Amino acid sequence: MCGIAGICLLNNSGEISLEVLRRMTAALHHRGPDEAGIYLDHQVGLGHARLSIIDLSSGCQPIHNEDETLWIIYNGEVYNYVELKQELVEKGYSFYTTSDTEVVLQLYQEEGPDCLERLNGQFAMAIWDAKKQELFLARDRVGIRPLHYTIQNNALIFSSEIKSIFMVESVPREIDPIAMDQIFTFWTTLPGYTIFKNIHELPPGHYLKLSKGQIIVKRYWDFPLYPRYEHWDLSPYELSEQIRQLLLEAVRIRLRADVTVGSYLSGGLDSSGVTSLIVNNFNSEACTFGIRFEEEAFDEGDHQNRMVSFLKVNHREVHAHNKKIGSVFPEVVWHTEKPLLRTAPVPLFLLSRLVRENSLKVVLTGEGADEVFGGYNIFREAKVRRFWAKQPHSDRRSALIDTLYPYIFKNPRLQRSLHSFFSRGLNQIDDPFFSHLIRWENTSNIKKFFSQELQTQIGAYNGYEQLRQSLPAAYDQWDGLSQAQYLEIVLFLSNYLLSSQGDRMAMGNSVEIRLPFLDPNLMEFMGRVPSRWKILGLNEKHILKKSFTPLLPEEIIRRAKHPYRAPIKHSLLNENACAYTKEMLSESMLKKAGLFKADKVNLLIRKMLKVDQSREIDDMALVGILSSQLVYQQFVANFPHQFPRAISLDLVVDRRKTRSSTLIKLKRKN
Amino acid sequence: MAYLEAVRSFIIENFLFGDDAQLTEDTSFLEDGIVDSTGILELVAFLEETYDITVEDDELIPENMDRLNSIVRYLEKKLSDV
């Protein structure tokens, strides 16, 4: 796994500084500490920081094609590169490395942008066609690997991470009010946005082409979901067998690496299933890693231990103590580069650190299963509310909600109030956002902390309307679960789970995560599985449980879903964290950032300090406000344009002083 | 009147964080997102502590707790019964 960065001039005026490229690449050092390389000509500059996983000896990037007219920098893995390479060899292509990167480049040469549909993997890449003077940027289907860009001073500047773009000093660093509105509604920005004004994200499943000063952004893939009449007509047994085979293949090719591959193991269904496939089929001595919490409500230790003894794996665990979560939170926000409403990313940052300390740099994880197989409570909640809406006065129907949230309903006194809460919008079952409206409207309550200035800048902007317009044409033909799955995948999965809680937390410690549940073949198959087999009655991920039944202990199959969460109040408002929380939430800092009303924030903190257990919405407000302040402080007010760590370049291709046919390699490490 | 002012101040300080612009006696806490489902517990704790009463389970219904004027009505009845 790696980091990529670059600058491409939109026309022939101006020049690209090697020093700026070096700084942009240095800002990505954590993504790729093993090697670094740069390509530079009159039009384009490409920088690459490499974490060596495949082809340790000759995979240094940028990599070129045979006649050195195409140059690639690439962050990711294409797991089916072995098969693709064989095809290309048969067509007469030759290779000077054994890396997957060179396969991707040659496939691009052969097929152009269509090659993206052939790639099974996770990637962000840039390819420079020196002959056509064309830049091609692309990102994997679901957005496992990040890619951002901006256009400034007649140049397209892009990078895996925004901090690297900000190394170009002329790029303005400003919080985008619209993005703030989006985050405090949807929990994350809408596709294409970042928290910073004019810094764009290349959305998942898209590519960008820059040619003759013109930029085209095009979608090449969308999450496969189909109307009922296109669903599989297979028995649950047949479905579960095929799913297990697809998962086995997804795991098999994700173990391709020239380094040891480990696995995360939480004790939940998804990571237990993946680890079981690894241990039973590929590596009986696999290394696994898990998180432990000091508060019982968050901890899954018993189930984790059960799986460790069941699979006899070599397991390590990290203890995510409340104080630890609080103390590393600012570092986590430095990596996420966007405000958060949860502290759940933090333990994953600590976990990847543990992986690295154990000398591993690749792990398989269970992320994506809840989206693809229907695991989230929000899906079940929508199902119950649709059923309830048919008889709104039925006590029996409304009581089904209790079974979804036993931890909220454990106090019987709340039952009637909670039913009122969940009955909101029961008459809106035709709304395309029926499944998510309660969550979004609840989250929007935090906007009452927004400063007057921020509210004025947001004005009449309506995120719902924007999202509505971006829905695919077939959306109306899908059933309720498919619609909810789509929203969850487009918003929560891509922009939060795979980003703030995924790539960024792993790469912050130079660790690559690989996600078998997001294998394109599996996603395509699941798009045609009838919703009733995904959630049978109220049993979430039914068909996945059926697939894993031969592999896992019954108690793991049967256990109620344990949503992965981390403590908030006791982590952020404790004496260890309070030095920076006090500073970030002080009246002067709040006024300086201008994002929130200082007096209201003060009342929130006072209230939270008074109680032992705070309300969820107050917790979310605290994390949201604190992380926004940290984003402002770290990226806007106090951004370090010079990182203390200087990188040494292993490969420099500088074509500025020569005609384009001549190549100069200044330095190459053996 | 005293009930109204006390409950109103509590709602403004704890759920609206000082901003009383949107709160009338007839504003629905749940519909307007002022007090969410679990916030009801904080409200009940406040009522029980301030007025030395016990809110029974069957009294804990939106008809008693969802608006300032319904809380006032509830308190008047409850305290007159004592």
pLDDT of A165-202, one tens digit each? 999 999 999 999 999 999 999 999 999 999 999 999 99
Whether residues B38 and A603 touch (CB distance < 8 A) is answered with: no
Is residue A495's pLDDT more than 60? yes
Share of chain A above pLDDT 70, in %: 97
Contact A263, A363 (CB under 8 A): yes
Please tell me the pTM assigned to this model.
0.93
CA gap A479, A227 in Å, rounded: 7
Does the domain at A2-221+641-668 match CATH 3.60.20.10? Answer given as yes
Structure confidence at residue A663 as a pLDDT band (50, 70, 90):
very low
> H-type helices in chain B, by residue range?
2-14, 39-51, 62-65, 68-81
Q: In sequence order, what are the residues at sequence separation of 6 or more whose Cβ sits closer than 8 angstroms to the Cβ of residue A317?
A: A289, A290, A291, A292, A304, A354
pLDDT digits (tens, 9 = 90+) for A434-478: 999 999 999 999 999 999 999 999 999 999 999 999 999 999 999
pLDDT digits (tens, 9 = 90+) for B32-79: 888 877 788 889 989 999 999 998 888 888 889 889 999 999 999 999
Give chain B's domains with CATH numbers: 2-81 (1.10.1200.10)
pLDDT digits (tens, 9 = 90+) for A49-86: 988 877 777 778 899 999 999 999 999 999 999 999 99
Residue ranges covered by each domain of chain A: 2-221+641-668, 228-373+485-558, 569-637
In A153-297 the beta strands, taken as DSSP E runs, fall at 155-159, 200-201, 206-211, 214-219, 261-264, 287-293
* Chain B environment of A422 (Cβ under 8 Å): 37
pLDDT digits (tens, 9 = 90+) for A325-373: 999 999 999 999 999 999 999 999 999 999 999 999 999 999 999 999 9
Nearest chain A residue (CA) to B38: A615
User: Residue A603 is nearest to which of B13, B30, B37, comparing CB atoms?
Assistant: B13
Structure confidence at residue A404 as a pLDDT band (50, 70, 90):
confident
* Chain B environment of A444 (Cβ under 8 Å): 33
CATH architecture group of domain A228-373+485-558: 3-Layer(aba) Sandwich (3.40)
Query: What burial class does residue B10 get, using C-beta atoms within 10 Å of its C-beta: 0-12 exposed, 13-18 middle, 19+ buried?
Result: middle
CA gap A182, A176 in Å, rounded: 10
User: Residue A604 is nearest to which of B17, B40, B57, comparing CB atoms?
Assistant: B17
Is residue A95's pLDDT more than 60? yes
Structure confidence at residue A645 as a pLDDT band (50, 70, 90):
low
Is A2 an annotated catalytic residue? yes
